[in-house]
Amino acid sequence: MADLIEARVLKGFRDFLPEAEIERRLLGEILESVFRSFGFVPIDTPALEYAEILLGKGGGETEKQVYRFQDHGGRDVALRFDLTVPFARFMAEHRNELALPFKRYHMAKVWRGENTQRGRYREFTQCDFDIVGSESAAADFEILLLMRESLRSIGAGEVSIRMNHRGVFNRFLAHLGVADKSVETLRTVDKLAKIGKEETLSLLSGLTGRERGEKILSFIQPKGSWDETLAAMAEAAGGEGPDTERLAVLRRFMVDAKVADVFVLDPSITRGLDYYTGVVYETFLDAMPSIGSVCSGGRYDNLASLYSKEKLPGVGSSIGLDRLIAALESLGKSKRSAGFARVAIACVDEALGGRYQALATRFRAAGLPCEVFSEKRKLPQQFASAEKKGLAWVVVADGPALDADSLTLRELATRTDRTGLSAAEIIGTVKAG
Amino acid sequence: MADLIEARVLKGFRDFLPEAEIERRLLGEILESVFRSFGFVPIDTPALEYAEILLGKGGGETEKQVYRFQDHGGRDVALRFDLTVPFARFMAEHRNELALPFKRYHMAKVWRGENTQRGRYREFTQCDFDIVGSESAAADFEILLLMRESLRSIGAGEVSIRMNHRGVFNRFLAHLGVADKSVETLRTVDKLAKIGKEETLSLLSGLTGRERGEKILSFIQPKGSWDETLAAMAEAAGGEGPDTERLAVLRRFMVDAKVADVFVLDPSITRGLDYYTGVVYETFLDAMPSIGSVCSGGRYDNLASLYSKEKLPGVGSSIGLDRLIAALESLGKSKRSAGFARVAIACVDEALGGRYQALATRFRAAGLPCEVFSEKRKLPQQFASAEKKGLAWVVVADGPALDADSLTLRELATRTDRTGLSAAEIIGTVKAG
């Protein structure tokens, strides 16, 4: 025998065994059904693209993490590392085939050669949803509402969506006379929850001087209610503007739609990326805020500027599926299950393989997923195997029992048998049970 | 402005716009629901693996097509080119975590740097389902039945599953005295449909001599009914054997399960790969046999021999989703649709964004996917936009109409308005319409 090759996956990559994969799929299906209920449509893009397109301006942390190589034709290619850049390229390429505003979702794997010591994966699933081609407050609000509905639908419990507006922050910085430091300031403030007030103040002071650092730190403290915080923000920014007006309109929409309790105006939310220009938001599970934001995003005023001269404003959000699943598991709220079938047909006589499947076909047609056991083993073994697979019932029948439609139904939990049941009676019992 | 980067995808790769992606997703969902109804469970494996694992023995056409490169850690890695090899590695690695027989499905993308001039894609979706850990005829039959049910469920019309048994073929070749040429002979016979009888005979004669070539060509002709063909095969192979017995049992199962008409015993079906050891099969759409097999597979007696000493016999099949979708489109049977929502709420007054969403929430809760238009445009424009998106109805309401729950419902197909409807009446009308 030749030497065996060791069966193993790459560091940072994972197999999904049935229980974990069922959990992921069910979660994905629930999210998709919510997106669809809002009229959002799915797209997909290639896993592999020209490196030039994915890396764009290039540089920075991202470039180091990207899986990049030469393909057979000598092309410089890379695996997508997020779904935003491919979406920008997609919109530039297909703009004329799509009606605007365009509402899309995209749930797919992405790859980053990150340092796995921080518990990060190198292959993970992203789930993005955006409205492109609208500058309206209605679009902002729809994304916010969709975030809320998505997270409610998966049973994650209560959530808080903490939001802010980049425009107010920028006006405030201009008012302070440090507009030229806005990118670094926003990135520093974004770290507040992670590094704490002291360290933030120290970094801000280094950037803008101690006095301004203190003002910035004071600006980013919530001031109480939404209205109080908004008033304080406007004042610090030198007065009302289109940005504070947008926040006021969104607040009205929330009250009108009776969802206001979920949304918190939080001037410390900045999202690190330069990309955002309007509202920005992060979402925390009330039962587990410590895992960080499970759904974040914001408004941008030009999605595809690297690839197209046409301006494409939009607003979107991204759910971190892996983080969310980890949270649901910790909270005991995950939808793990060993399988889909609830009933199996035991193999009493191997010669009856065709008739067992005929019976199973009746169950399946009635909406009962049904497994047929292929191996003739002792019944207790078959029952034990069924229990291990998460089944609740096993049908036992030999040839005469099938002929007479007089079957035995084993309830695994109680270890009791009901005899003399017809197929129709079994369907009724299993569906009710 | 900086130079723009040209927005384009790599040759052989595709964007899926909403209509095409909806079609793919709906097809995938139907197939999954059939797999689940049989008690099959999903797994997933990494897109990227050690090249050593994916290429195994290496060599041949496959190796040339694989996307292979060095990762950041200098590891020799490759993108999966099918789902079978990762599944073999998966079973070797997780054998002790899984109960056998193990019934799994896996629907995922794979990558091959194939020559795109033959209309092949470099990124495509495979859909595999297998039962591992069973040598039984019941497992063979279940896979065959699942193939039939899968293809029926997606509305591809009638199908023919053409099948054979490698064992009979091998015994026949041994009987002829050319057992040592079996691999080449099987590969040659596999090309029959593509290259025709003449060319096949010529190739076979080159391998085994003219007389034997003619006998092989005669062996692979169907002889009429299943029973007649089976009898002729047994005779040519030197008598009955476990292989002909297996075919006879499967035939009995088909008759018992009342699905016999779909299955054809066809001694020319060999599947080129050495991998198969028992039954082999291909599936053709009766309405479009010319596109070739849309679902193929067979029994193997050792799935994971490269990675494990433990023998893992099994049986499985693979649906070529891209080919199947192309066929459904040609037959006018594809499930293309522009979107999921059937009703939209027009934007009559931008200040009502929150109330429009509150109304939409009622529709969605009643199971009606509903899009809310975010832009205030003239109503005829909003109606036209809704039609383009495949919607059937638009709700029109200003503030007083919302207050009075007295709404207008536009039916787009007939261009008629119904006025004075409550939200509940609209739900009833749209659901019935």
CB pair distance less than 8 Å for A257 and B358: yes
Note whether residue A65 is domain-resident: yes
pLDDT higher than 80, residue A116 = no
- Name the A residues in 290-319 with CB < 8 Å from any B CB: 304, 306-309
For position B62, what pLDDT does the model report? 77
CATH number at residue A49: 3.30.930.10
For position B336, what pLDDT does the model report? 77
Residue B9, chain A, CB below 8 Å: the answer is yes
Same domain, B372 and B321: no
Note whether residue B121 is domain-resident: yes
Same domain, A347 and A333: no
For position A162, what pLDDT does the model report? 96
For position A248, what pLDDT does the model report? 98
For position A120, what pLDDT does the model report? 83
Same domain, A147 and A164: no
- Name the A residues in 135-164 with CB < 8 Å from any B CB: 136-139, 141-142, 145, 149
CB pair distance less than 8 Å for B369 and A71: no
Note whether residue B337 is domain-resident: no
Same domain, A150 and A169: no
pLDDT higher than 90, residue A26 = yes
CATH number at residue A417: 3.40.50.800
A199-241 tens-digit pLDDT: 999 999 999 999 999 999 999 988 889 999 999 999 999 999 9
pLDDT higher than 80, residue A58 = no
A335-381 tens-digit pLDDT: 778 899 999 999 999 999 999 999 999 999 999 999 999 999 999 99
For position A13, what pLDDT does the model report? 97
Mean pLDDT computed over every residue of chain B: 93
B67-102 tens-digit pLDDT: 999 998 999 999 999 999 999 999 999 999 999 999
Same domain, A132 and A192: no
For position A416, what pLDDT does the model report? 97
For position B414, what pLDDT does the model report? 97
For position A272, what pLDDT does the model report? 74
List all residues 6 or more positions away from A27 whose beta carbon is below 8 Å from its beta carbon.
A154, A321, A324, A325, A328, A335
d(CA B108, CA B82): 9
Residue A104, chain B, CB below 8 Å: the answer is yes
Same domain, A193 and A87: no
Residue B30, chain A, CB below 8 Å: the answer is no
Residue B61, chain A, CB below 8 Å: the answer is no
d(CA A299, CA A132): 10
Q: What percent of chain A has pLDDT over 70?
A: 98
In B, which residues are within 8 Å of A5 by CB distance? Answer: 52-53, 56, 306-307
Residue B286, chain A, CB below 8 Å: the answer is no
Same domain, A16 and A150: yes
Note whether residue A310 is domain-resident: no
The dihedral of CA B207, B283, A46, A22: what is its sign?
A: negative
Note whether residue B101 is domain-resident: yes
A191 min Cα distance to partner chain B (Å) = 28
pLDDT higher than 90, residue B223 = no
For position A194, what pLDDT does the model report? 86
Residue A350, chain B, CB below 8 Å: the answer is yes
- Tell me, what's the ipTM? 0.94
Lowest mean pLDDT among A292-301, B328-337, B378-387: B328-337
B233-268 tens-digit pLDDT: 999 999 999 999 999 999 999 999 999 999 999 999
- Answer with the one of B270, B295, B330 that is the final residue of a domain: B330
The structure tokens listed for B303 are 């799935």
Mean pLDDT computed over every residue of chain A: 93
Note whether residue A314 is domain-resident: no
The dihedral of CA B203, B208, B211, B213: what is its sign?
A: negative
Which structural domain, as residue segments, surrounds residue B315? 18-330
- Strands B343-345 and A295-300, by their bridges, are unpaired
Note whether residue B335 is domain-resident: no
In A, which residues are within 8 Å of B306 by CB distance? Answer: 4-5
- Split into its structural domains, chain A has a count of 3
B183-207 tens-digit pLDDT: 889 889 888 888 999 999 999 999 9
CB pairs under 8 A between A and B: 330
Is this model's pTM higher than 0.90 or not? yes
CB pair distance less than 8 Å for A10 and B104: no
In B, which residues are within 8 Å of A353 by CB distance? Answer: 136-138, 141, 249, 253, 256
- Answer with the one of B309, B330, B351 that is the final residue of a domain: B330
List all residues 6 or more positions away from A75 whose beta carbon is below 8 Å from its beta carbon.
A50, B10
Same domain, B413 and B354: yes
Same domain, B319 and B375: no
Same domain, A151 and A16: yes
A60-77 tens-digit pLDDT: 677 889 999 999 899 999
Amino acid at A122: R
In A, which residues are within 8 Å of B370 by CB distance? Answer: 37-39
Same domain, B230 and B359: no
- Answer with the one of B308, B330, B352 that is the final residue of a domain: B330
| A21, A258, A374, best to mutate vs chain B, most B CBs in 10 Å | A374
pLDDT higher than 80, residue A27 = yes
For position B57, what pLDDT does the model report? 66
CB pair distance less than 8 Å for B139 and A47: no
For position B59, what pLDDT does the model report? 60
d(CA B306, CA B143): 24
Note whether residue A195 is domain-resident: yes
The structure tokens listed for B263 are 């299955």
Same domain, B302 and B379: no
C-beta atoms surrounding B99 within 10 Å: 12
pLDDT higher than 70, residue B58 = no
